Chain A
Amino acid sequence: MPQALVPTLLNLLFRAFVVLLLPPLIPGLITKIKAWMAGRSGPPVLQLYYDLAKLARKQAVFSRTTTWVFLAGPVGTVAALLVASLLIPLGHTAPLLAFEGDVILFAYLLGLGRFLTVLSALDTGSAFEGMGAAREVSFSALAEPALFFGFAALARATGSLSLTPMLQSHGMWTAGHLSGPLMLILAGWGIVFLAENSRIPVDDPNTHLELTMIHEVMVLDHSGRPLALILYGASLKLVVLGALLVDPLLPVLSKGWLNGLAFLGGIGLLAVVVGLVESTAARFRMNKVPQFLVAGVLASAFAFLLLLV
């Protein structure tokens, strides 16, 4: 028992670090890559930490139109994401909770966060925020089937309904008949990842033109600590959804800490890839976005079909 205690504690510490401290680094990394690609020096990698610290000291402003729902958005979203982060394996380390069917809970917790964010946006009574909310829910209705087709394909390949065996099935990448489906799943999920995290080419996190925004327009009226929560929640979502993409690709290493390091490396690499995509691609016109998402659905659906033969 004492021998098992130390690795468990280390695993806990590792998870706490990844979930609570690491996330704000990822957007900073993406921004840095974009700045380098554009030939600028850009803001420091730790910029989001500074922002969060500043916002945490500031007082929040609440419109007289809003009710408690306005606050439930940021708090509930972060709470839902934190619970979801308990379910997801980080590389080849064990998650805190795993049971048959946790994939469904995972997907619905993401849905819960979205529901509360949208309500919080509608609570301001502003037309812009309502517009962003409408876009968010309609695009996510297309992202959801892509996510579930991917889960279905992995469930069929691994015979399990739990995220941990699904994502940690090492050797899938090299097994000939599974590598094709896995590539398709990752392509579909990559599109979901970009859409859910409101990255280019679906949405531009840096835009300041309300007419073209999706996610950012919903949080315009938040300030102070609620805004800090929203920013932290967005970066946490990058890590949680990023783990879906990174986990199946990681090799199994002999030591626990090596697996942890491999995960950190994978997430860092994902941030670099996202930065490169954002530097080279332009944002789609709004009517192109559904086509992009349908491509994601089709990719995951084909992955499932390939597994049938």
Chain B
Amino acid sequence: MSLYLLSLLLAAGSGIPGLFLRRRGAEVSASLMTASALAGIGAALGVLAGGPVERLRLPALALTSPSLLVLDAIAAWFLIPVLLLAACGAWYGVRYWEDAHGHPRWVRLVFGGLTAALVLLVAAAHTWVFLLAWEAMAIGAFLLVSTEDRLPETRRAAWIYLVSTHTGTLCLIGAFALLAGVAGTWDLGALPRGFAASRLGTQTFLLFMVGFGLKAGVMPLHIWLPPAHAAAPSHVSALMSGVLIKMGILGMVRLIAWVPDPPLWWGALFLGLGGVSGILGVAFALGQHDLKRLLAYHSIENIGIILLGLGLGLIGKSTGQPALAALGLAGALLHVLNHSLFKGLLFLAAGSVVHATGTRNLEQLGGLAKSMPWTSAAFLTGSWAICGLPPLNGFVSEWFIYLGAFGAMAGTRWPWSVGVLAALALIGALALACFAKAYGTVFLGTPRTPAAAAAHEAPRTMVLPMAVLAGACVLIGVWPHGGGPSPGPGHRRAGPGPPRQLPAGAPAAGVGAGPDPGAAGPGPDPLGAGRAPLRARPAGAAHLGLRLCRSAAPGAVLGVLLRGWPGHWRPLGPVPEGP
């Protein structure tokens, strides 16, 4: 807990020295953020590796509740992308957002504050802490979106965001008040059996879905998302798209963990929303000409994929299919991490393009792969991963959700998950089309405008954060069983699983084992999956599958076989002589 609190303080204070320093303020702030990330990720890995679940108890403040903060497996899992993206974004911002753009000191201060709010939010165990952190996050993001408030479109985007997020907060206040009425305490934790099916439970659930759905950008509630992501500075867009909208997912995951017996229609609602967000998100993205708006619509699409996974998990929980619950939740949680990595990477790469050319319009770009080779490689890695193509990380999480959908359908109980399969297949194919277009238009071919022709590679402090994120995408893709921590205690209890599980096993087990397996209180196994023996098959199969992906080395072998090429691989004159 002390490491976590240290991380929280460092993040919150990272922008303060820069207010008083004449020079190097940005570097100091980024270093503080890096230190915060190291401390926080260390704490998170400790919990995921099976360390004790720690709580912050301040009885004087907590108003009869046992604790204010809890660093359990879910909190740890969401903490990792928050801090990783914040540190990468802080270093990226050093050169990206200089004095020419205006208010760099205040941007750094609010960026640190926003990160601290996110760090606080993931571990909130008390209603008031949750709502205060939620509100701090919303206001921090509003200030950052409106950084360039001299542009009318930015002011408009910021106001739409502010109205949406407060509508969501209103619903959340109502939902939490209903919960507190039932539980008789401000503590967030397991709910009594039978509550979910009651009328009050339904009302609470719908309020939660509106509140969290507004933040996550679920399709009918997404209106604020594209303009806000396009208007914000790119490292802020990366943080917003990577982790801020995931806080809606965090809320939904917490809700799933609290409810012991979700009705079947909850899962069906998740699947419906997920399918709509996924397919329409990518369909709208196909029509965009603004690079950052295109990426923002893809965030909606990926939230849809995550909802599909959560929906399968819920249905598995409702119908008593532990394997389905584990696969769906594991896929969704792993996709949360993966999406934050590759979408952060894509937004940073898009920011480099904007930095170099001054435009976000796809039609005015082109041919940047020659002048910006590193940015181009980073964007290609992100595109590859977001399309779910093997062997990068997007494939691993989508593969889990596919397996869950296939499994549910092959069993006799719930054949309609074939709709999930069809939706995922369609989303995958359309995302491929969209990113082939985006990468091809921006980086390949010839420059369409003088600005694109005069582009230059981004400075090193902008390339390095992209390299870190791209490396993480590749690492999780080719080494998922080792890229993550070993399973937590909740999982070890799970029975005859293989000794080392995929990283997604850990937080899924966290959901399965409840908010805090060691805590006193009702603590029934909320998911029903934690104690049931997980099928060993999926994990073993995943292992095999990924070993197989690694054997995609045939590409390298072919390259060697065709060794005559590199010699000729320089731009030839107009007509080279044939043999």
On A, residues with C-beta under 8 Å from B are 57-62, 64-65, 67-69, 71, 75-76, 78-80, 82-83, 86-87, 97, 99-105, 107-109, 111-112, 114-115, 118-119, 122-125, 130, 133-134, 137-138, 140-145, 147-149, 151-152, 155-156, 159-161, 225, 229, 301, 304, 308
A contact residues around B62 at 8 Å (CB) = none
B472 within 8 A of A: no
8 A Cβ contacts from B536-555 to A = 537-538, 540-542, 544-545, 548-549, 551-552, 554-555
Instruction: Contacts A75-B559, A111-B432 known; list 4 others, CB within 8 Å.
Output: A61-B572, A112-B390, A123-B369, A301-B422
- Inter-chain CA distance A143–B422, complex, in Å, is 11
B565 within 8 A of A: yes
Given contacts A99-B545, A123-B440, are A161 and B410 in contact (CB under 8 A)? yes
| Smallest beta-carbon distance B8→chain A, Å | 40
A-B contact count (CB 8 A): 195
Q: What are the 6 tightest A-B residue pairs by CB atom distance, in nearest-first order?
A: A122-B440, A125-B445, A137-B433, A79-B555, A141-B429, A148-B425
A159→B551 contact, CB < 8 A: no
A contact residues around B387 at 8 Å (CB) = 111, 115
B425→A144 contact, CB < 8 A: yes
- Inter-chain CA distance A149–B415, complex, in Å, is 12
| Smallest beta-carbon distance B394→chain A, Å | 10
B contact residues around A143 at 8 Å (CB) = 429
| Smallest beta-carbon distance B448→chain A, Å | 10
| Smallest beta-carbon distance B404→chain A, Å | 10
* Partner-binding segment picked from B244-252, B357-365, B395-403, B509-517: B395-403
B contact residues around A147 at 8 Å (CB) = 425
B407→A144 contact, CB < 8 A: no
A contact residues around B403 at 8 Å (CB) = 100-101, 104, 161
- Inter-chain CA distance A104–B564, complex, in Å, is 35
Given contacts A79-B558, A114-B432, are A71 and B384 in contact (CB under 8 A)? no
**Residue from A108, A119, A138 in contact with B444 in the complex, judged by beta carbons closer than 8 Å:** A119
| Smallest beta-carbon distance A52→chain B, Å | 13
B contact residues around A134 at 8 Å (CB) = 433, 437
**Residue from B367, B384, B429, B544 in contact with A140 in the complex, judged by beta carbons closer than 8 Å:** B429
A contact residues around B445 at 8 Å (CB) = 65, 122-125, 130
A contact residues around B384 at 8 Å (CB) = 115
Given contacts A59-B579, A97-B548, A144-B426, are A75 and B410 in contact (CB under 8 A)? no
**Residue from B415, B422, B549 in contact with A145 in the complex, judged by beta carbons closer than 8 Å:** B422
On B, residues with C-beta under 8 Å from A are 366-367, 369-370, 376, 380, 384, 387-390, 395, 398-399, 402-403, 406-407, 409-410, 415, 418, 421-422, 424-426, 428-430, 432-433, 435-437, 439-441, 444-446, 537-538, 540-542, 544-545, 548-549, 551-552, 554-555, 558-559, 562, 564-565, 568-569, 571-572, 575-576, 578-579
Specify the chain A residue showing the minimal Cβ separation from B424: A148
B555→A125 contact, CB < 8 A: no
- Inter-chain CA distance A115–B554, complex, in Å, is 17
**Residue from A65, A79, A101, A152 in contact with B554 in the complex, judged by beta carbons closer than 8 Å:** A79
B contact residues around A86 at 8 Å (CB) = 548, 551
**Residue from A58, A76, A159 in contact with B555 in the complex, judged by beta carbons closer than 8 Å:** A76
- Inter-chain CA distance A308–B384, complex, in Å, is 36
B446→A145 contact, CB < 8 A: no
| 13 sample A-B contacts, Cβ–Cβ < 8 Å, listed by A number | A60-B565, A67-B376, A83-B548, A83-B551, A100-B538, A101-B399, A101-B545, A108-B390, A124-B445, A137-B436, A152-B421, A155-B406, A229-B558
- Inter-chain CA distance A143–B426, complex, in Å, is 9
B contact residues around A124 at 8 Å (CB) = 445
A contact residues around B569 at 8 Å (CB) = 62, 68, 71
- Inter-chain CA distance A144–B426, complex, in Å, is 7
**Residue from A62, A87, A160, A301 in contact with B568 in the complex, judged by beta carbons closer than 8 Å:** A62
Given contacts A62-B572, A101-B545, are A125 and B537 in contact (CB under 8 A)? no
**Residue from B428, B444, B544 in contact with A99 in the complex, judged by beta carbons closer than 8 Å:** B544
- Inter-chain CA distance A57–B167, complex, in Å, is 68
